[in-house]
Amino acid sequence: MNKQYSEIKEYRELPNGMRLFIHPSDVNHVVALHIILPFASATETTQNAGLTAFALRMLRRGTQSKSALEFETALDDLGTELGIATGKTTCAITLHCTDDAIAESFGLLREMMTQPAYTTDEIERERRVTLAGLRKAEDNNMGKTMRMLCREMYPDSGFGLPVNGLEETVKALDGQSIINRGAAVLRAPQPIIVCIGNCDPEMVTQQCESLLVPEARQITKIPTPPLPQKDINVSFERQCRQSIVVIGWRVCSRLAPDYPAMRLASAVLGESMSSRLFLHLRDEQGLAYSTGTHVSAGKTHGEMLAHIATNPITREHARNEMLREIELLRNEPVSQEELDRARNYVIGRMLISSQSNLSRAARMAAYINLGLGITGEQEYLQALRRVTPQEVCDAAGKWLTTPVCAELIALENGETATNDKQQ
């Protein structure tokens, strides 16, 4: 391998506005590239929901010189993987290849990003695939309940809309709007690129300079959605064998001092088999087929979700027991032993998930995008290690105050579902 590159770490500001971080490594023959494009699908409305994700998926459907099949065949011949992801506040493009195919892989990436075809046939093919996916998603009871909760947590914001859109909006997307949105995403200002692997920094820099031509402007700030002002409970009915309860809270941003404590509060409550929801609701009371929590946050805000799938006859009791566990977390500090167990779980999961070049590149790009820099992960780990039991209690007491609840009410065979209910 090229050991001459193994100790180089570089952070470069490129003339076209890109921020490039390169960490050559001779541990293996793999090179991973993660590009963050600061374009937010949360700017979408009920008139064009799903437009951003649709436009980005079209990048994989052929270029001006290759059909979709020819492009995919070229990737397969190299053993190279290209990924595309659309988020609420950013979009991402990834490249994963071996070091002996890096030049050819960069060539295909550049062709995809600078010469997308957007043919009418491929647009209609993608529309059919997307609509089929949206219809299939309705068959997932947990996913449907989560989407209902999201709409209630963010009622007048693009944060409450599905990234892939709604059936009616996807049907209405026109070709020119798709082309314009794709171009806007690829011109998003101040993109971030992280490259980790066995590579020559000069070669990577030259390749990256030709990938994008970002607009010379500031990143558009997305207004922070207002916090819910009262408890909300919505539900829908469906013939099925289990009821589902999902409860959500708006919490602090990823940059807030409270975030490490909120991250550990979620772990204490429901992220592992030793967490409170799993032990108290599932093992001790037999209320849960499945249960758990999840917390996520960005630059402006975050949310924590708790869910339980339960027997239809225990739905109300299960919901009340979840809320009781929240009240205990808000009012009584966790024990040091319980906190240490949750802390070890969170840190261990982080370290295990950062073992590949691709996952390391993605995590590094995320920290840079947040403004935390290339040392962001280490500083976050240190912050997690400093959290005290009282800080977990204080953060839970501050943020877990106005729950939004969505429920699936299971019906017996022969019962007829009524309209969605709201309280």
Distances (CA, A) of 177 to 114, 170, 196, 354: 17, 12, 35, 37
Longest alpha-carbon distance in the chain = 71
Region 7-34: mean pLDDT is 86
Determine the residue type at 243.
S
In terms of CATH architecture, what is 232-422? 2-Layer Sandwich (3.30)
- pLDDT tens for residues 132-167? 999 999 999 999 999 999 999 999 899 999 999 999
The domain segmentation of the chain, as residue ranges, is 3-209, 232-422
Distance CA 301, CA 7 (A): 37
pTM of the model: 0.93
Torsion angles phi and psi, residue 172, rounded to 5: -90, -10
- pLDDT tens for residues 317-369? 999 999 999 999 999 999 999 999 999 999 999 999 988 999 999 999 999 99
Distance CA 82, CA 96 (A): 7
CATH of domain 3-209: 3.30.830.10
Distances (CA, A) of 266 to 96, 151, 354, 366, 395: 32, 22, 21, 21, 11
User: Which is nearest to 275 in space by CA: 223, 309, 331, 326?
Assistant: 326
3-state secondary structure of 40: coil
pLDDT band at 15 (very low <50, low <70, confident <90, very high): confident
Are 3-209 and 232-422 in the same CATH fold?
A: yes
